[in-house]
Structure 1
Amino acid sequence: MKNTHSPLLRSYHSWIANESLEDYSLRYAARSFRKWSPFIIANTALGGISFLALEAIGAAITLSHGFANAFPAILVAIVFIFIASFPIAYYSSRYNIDMDLLTRGAGFGYIGSTITSLVYATFTFIFFALEGAIMAQALLLLAGIPLVVGYLISSIVIIPITFMGVTMINRVQLVSQPVWVAMQLLPFAYILYEDPETIRRWTGFIGTQEGGSAFNILSFGSALGILFALSIQIGEQVDYLRFLPEENRKNRSAWWAAVILAGPGWILVGGLKILFGSFLAVLVISAGQPKQTALEPVHMYIQAYEYVFADPGLVLAAATIFVIISQVKINITNAYAGSLAWSNFFSRVTLYHPGRVVWLLFNIMISLLLMMLGVFDTLEVVLAIYSVIAAAWVGAIFADLAILKPLGISPSFTEFKRAYLPDFNPVGCGAMALASLAAFFVFAGFFGELAQAYAAPMAFFIALLTAVLIGVLTGGRYYIARPSVALAGPGDANVRCELCGFEYERPDMAHCTFYQRPVCSLCCSLEAHCHDMCKSPQVAVGTDFGTSTGGLRAKIAPNTFKRLVKAGGIFLALSVVVAAAILITYRLIEPDPASTHLDSSLILFGVFLALLPLLAVGTWWIVLSHESRELAERDLLISLEELEKAQNDLAANERLAAIGEVTATVSHELRNPLGTLVNSADLLRRSVTGTQAETLGELDRLQRNAWRCVKIIDDLLDFSRNYSFYAIEIELDGWVTRALADIDPALRARIVVELGSESAVLADSERLRQAFVNILNNAAQACDLATSDAPIRVATFSEGDEVVLDVTDRGIGMTDDVRRRIFEPLFSTNAFGVGLGMPLVRRIIEHMGGTVRVTSESGTGTTVQFRLPRAGAPEP
């Protein structure tokens, strides 16, 4: 019998249970939540393309490498990102999962995709910091607000909108989109109308680096490498596309339009904005402004709006309002996507999920820290390094979705639930690791300056080819850890998670072999007690892997690696928060960046260093407190299991007591009348002559039924009696031969014997015989009902530390419902049966330390196995 465990009901914070705030983070987006039209979702997804970092990137590569290299690089990047993003957008929309859940099933595995969650989270807070810095610059110019205060304002204003999730974000994007589009295009219309000569100045701009006057393969590669970092933007698009309604005949055109335009199509709008930034940067340079000013989108649009308004106040106000609207629109997307990415990362690292809202604040805090460190001033370097990792990730995913799935090597669907995924898949993990490592060596300049410029494209293609190669060589066997299990009930009905108590749609549910119950994907992700036994059934629950493997690992405390990773994550989070607070303090007391006071910085740095040991102690306190809570839960789980077992034993004993009490009464009241009835029938038979055949037949039938009543009373007494078991060592093969010699010859003639255990067991010979004969009689009855003359097979064999006695018939078999109930007392499918035979059989075998296994199929036959411990084998 399978080992089952009683679940502890998991209690989440109220905002986690409120899906209007949580937005099904870490989950499949349920149909009931996907209530918006394709237009609304596409509009929300495209609302995030307002980010002015695109203009800054276009300006940076144009001012450095000239138009002759920046323009073709932008065109190539548009084509590349569109093609690479399309399968990601399609599969996410088709299966309603976010970027991380998609990555799990697209070649990385459940744990392997944690690194990609970290990469994606990095993208969100880098771009949040860039956009926040741009917004702070606008506030400084418009209202004289210091940059530090502007950083705080640009961060805090995002929190209430993103806190409310996609419901509020939809409304904000819907209202702001027309205003943003109009303010984006208006100045360019004026510029082209009033001064078309600016196009010539733009196309003739040669840049500051050597080789910008004409197309240069080195400059082109450097510009392209920076643009490759934008390939991860598709992750933010699919964080919204997962809420698309299901495709049907009625909405097919709108659905596909949303997938294409709001998915890979983002780069069409984004590419145009990159070109806008390239154009405006040249415009600012032509006006006599320095390069650093030309890189700032605020100054770009101030220069642009000078063509629209003559009043400098209106120019500054219009440019600032446009920048603020753009930054709010994009940073609610950056913050939202970051909260999902951090949730996915920490839920697997710590097996704890405090809610998306907590990680929203954490993501904004890191972004604020980057603003304070001046991330905008190192834009080109940051994006050039990041693009290598981003390209490797996208290359591995693209290989799976666009090549391995059509070839049938990867499953046609995308599995995201922990219960069915391996921890690591070498296809994605191996490809990304190899491509990133190789590309970083190239980027470091080990293979020359030309190769260095093309490190990001090389990372993409190395990951693509490596993923395909590994997928073909492994045959795709590392995608699924075990087949999914169909859950009971109607296909369109929600299923209750037995851990948290909430109901979810079937795609979000999995069958847990540890609890033998359906659980939701989030509870499955956070389960700490099962040790993934569903994917390693041969490993006993609670096995200490550190001690079972021996060697050095046996000397390490259990769960050391997990504990260190958890502590490292918490220490990083605390350090970020403290560093941000100290940096804000420093910037507030040092408002003028031109003048620095060494004493202040050294004092605050010393404070930070002094706090680090306290943070380390606090980290371990948090980790140990969490482990103490887990230990208490585990103890409670064991106590509940013991309580459930005691309750079941008590209920069984109460049933036995009730049966015994009833049986004693029935036996006392009916045995004498039945005995009289049998004797009277026998006396009448003797007095009837041979010519009265009909009377003789009725008297025989009367006598048989009287004896059947006596047999029922005996069975009831037998079942309710507490036996003493006298276990001795029995050589099983010889015992079976002797037992078969004593049974009815007609039944013995139907039996085929295959004895091969050659082992002894500790058993009560008489009780074992009682159980064995009961099973043989059941097999004979099943064959008679099936009118089958097929033999009954009796076999013995050894399996590990168990000795098996196997009885197989080719009778009528059992349905699944009957098979599940055969051990219930008083349940019987036989019109004349009492339903005590199989419960008595199990009682006898379990008293001897064994188990009874029954496999049956209706119309095919039944196999019953007695599995007894081998004599001398160690106790489990």
Structure 2
Amino acid sequence: MAYLAISDGATDIQATDPTYLYQRIFFFLTTSPTTALILAAVFVFICQMKINLTNAYAGSIAWSNFFSRLTHSHPGRVVWLVFNVTIALLLMELGIYQALGAILGVFAIAAVSWLGSLSADLLINKPLGLSPNYVEFKRAHLYDINPVGTGSMLIATTLGLVSYLGVFGDVAKSLCHFISLGSCFVFVPLIAWITKGKYYLARQSPELIPMIELAKQRNPKYVTLTCGICENAFETEDMSFCSAYMQPICSLCCSLDVRCLDSCKPQASIGQQSDYFLKLFLPKGLVKALSSRFGRFASLLLVINIINAALMMLIYRQMAPSSLSEEALLKDTMLALFFTLLIVSGVLSWLFVLAHESRVVAQKESNRQTRKLIREIDAHQETDKALQHAKEQAERANEAKSRYLTGISHELRTPLQSIIGYAQLLSEKANTPSGHQNGLDIIHRSGLYLADLIEGLLDISKIEAGRFDLYRNTVDLPKLIDQLNSMFAMQARSKGVQFQAKILAPLPQHVITDEKRLRQILINLLSNAVKYTPKGSVLFEVNYRNQVAEFIIRDTGIGIKEGHLKRIFDPFERVRDVSTGNLPGTGLGLTIVKLLTEIMGGDLQARSVIGEGSEFRVSLMLPWVSQGDGSAYEYKRIVSYRGYQRTLMVVDDDPVVRGLLSDILVPLGFNVLEAADAESCLDELESCSPDLFVLDVSMPGMDGLSLAKLLRDRAYSAPIIMLSADAKENQRKPDEQAAFNQYLVKPVNNSALLDAIKHWLVLEWVYQETELDTLALTALKKTVSGNEEPYQDVLEDPSVATIPDHESVRELMAFAEMGYKKGVRGVLDQLAKKDVIAQTHLQQLESLYQGFQFDAIAQYIQTNSQLMCEVSEKPNDEPQ
């Protein structure tokens, strides 16, 4: 274009103006001056925008990388892009490209030195093995300064500038750029050889290798790792392992992070490298002085002003004043500007040093606090692990205790079955000498006491294991209170203690609760109150409001110390002193009371004053119902059953238990077959077909449940009753429960076993007739025949008179309904001495007592004490 312009008569100045050249070309093409001017303007605008935007984008990358590493902040590349575009537009509008030509020429020396150092490293060092065989660009793996590249660039730039200034002559001045480029290819391998390539890599990240292998297994085609800071996925070449966060980190997050203070490469920082380099040439004291705050300030100020001086000198050389006066004026201006910038740069350098120092101190303090917090967290984690370990040990110990209690229960229930069963069986026999009754009574009572103790232990174990079962029963609340009143009134009187029960509000007739557990709670508390009250009184108050029952037991006993009040609810914890050392007890009563109260959703409060007494307050939700489901049970002694003879198969490895069951069942007319194990039972089945099986659960070889399943598999449809000494074994899986019909826990009451047999065989018992039964039957027959006074001849005989309404009779009935054997025995002895009821009734009650038929005693008293009244209240023409 310049040739065409000159050929067309343009001057030399016009031939160097790109806008004029573009205009001449477009005029040559269009022959229209206006069109040529428009096209030239559009073309120049597009070219300038393209060049400036491209350079601005490239500059934004360089600026953002440099300042993000220097300041650990990244405002975004858009900021630097706009900044560079603005600079380009300003330079273009101001038209100072010609003035910057010399500056750009000098900048070209630095650029050639930079590019030459990179080229020499790639073309010479890597093939010769003076540098790693790959290009590492991750800041976390590099030294802050690599003397190979930085040193060769500084040397090449210095040689080029010196040549440019004409120090080496005009030829070197013209070839300054080539001198810079050539020197790079000399000094790059030379410095790498001297340093032995030490400063190429500060470290690597072997911790990423297993992470990379795992990522390859997930996706072998595209392997990425997730940055632990920004949580974005990057290729593995852009990831390093951060020792501060102990996670993978991308290059950008690594550049921006200020927390670590380059802890991953402590010997690779610029400060460490400067100290090492300076100690090679300077004394240690001077190096230490340079490392101080003032030394850093002086060093920074020196570097900045050297750069300023170089720029000033360059500008002075390029302006080239034509006269001495202009040269002096320019020199004075440059010196004034330099010293002005010296003051400004000094202030800014000092502020920079202080700000940097403050940032480092703040970051170190933050890191110190972070490390303390991490140590505290680690300590808490260790404590949590220790607590978890202790908890697991406690749970294992608790499970071991539960297993131990279950094992003890299993071992005790089997002999208890024989003890209690034979004691009850011998008491019912008519030929048992009367002198042996007391001994049998003691044996039976002791067995029941031991069974209750075992039940209490298992209750605690069940509650702690969270497998405690509650049952909803319809309870006659006033009747229960009367029973407790009658029971403990006599016990208190025997100690000379006054017992009083008060009903503070009307009670509902029937409530819904677990009767056994409610009775257990109140009996334990009332028994303790009477036991620990040597003199004075015991007050039992009952209040009912809004379906909440409150039971208050107050006594004037010895009281409990404040320190002991919290211990009395612990298992096996008994407060013993001079006044209570000889009192019986296991220390489980109050523990069971508290656990039962809490498991039933209630509240137990206790307070006590030494020497004044104690108060226990129990609050329970007892919803009332309009009608109970009371059912009367009339006991008569079973002697046989109606129908054909039934065959029962008893399988138990304990011969004593088998003998007991045979002694109970054979006198009633059953054909009892005994087997010591499952194999013997199966052998017996080849020659017989039992109507019912009684199987022990725990047996050597095949256990009872497996035998029951096998019998069902062989199509035996006869009912199966399981006997077990482990109360927890009734919690079986559905398939196991389907193998048997009923599950009884040892020790099994004789009447409970007979009731189960009656139910599953659909039997009708034959009861023993007493003298009173015969007389009552005669009276009923006379009533039906029309005799207006059917009981007259019967009642005339004092031996069959109606049981009178007497205080002792009411106590006897209450104790019998509660199953309180000791109370029943005491009242019967009192009735025998006072001659309150007829001898016939007394004998019948004694017989029922010896058979432990307490429900039958209560029913007998109720029936015979109301017989006369019922007859007298009916019209004469109505049969009874």
Please say whether Structure 1 and Structure 2 have the same fold, judged by a TM-score greater than 0.5. no
Highest RCO, 1 vs 2 (Cα 8 Å, sep ≥ 6): 1
Please report the TM-score for the alignment, with normalisation by the length of structure 1: 0.36
- Structure with the larger strand share: 2
Normalized per residue, the structure richer in helix is 1
Q: Which has the larger radius of gyration?
A: 2
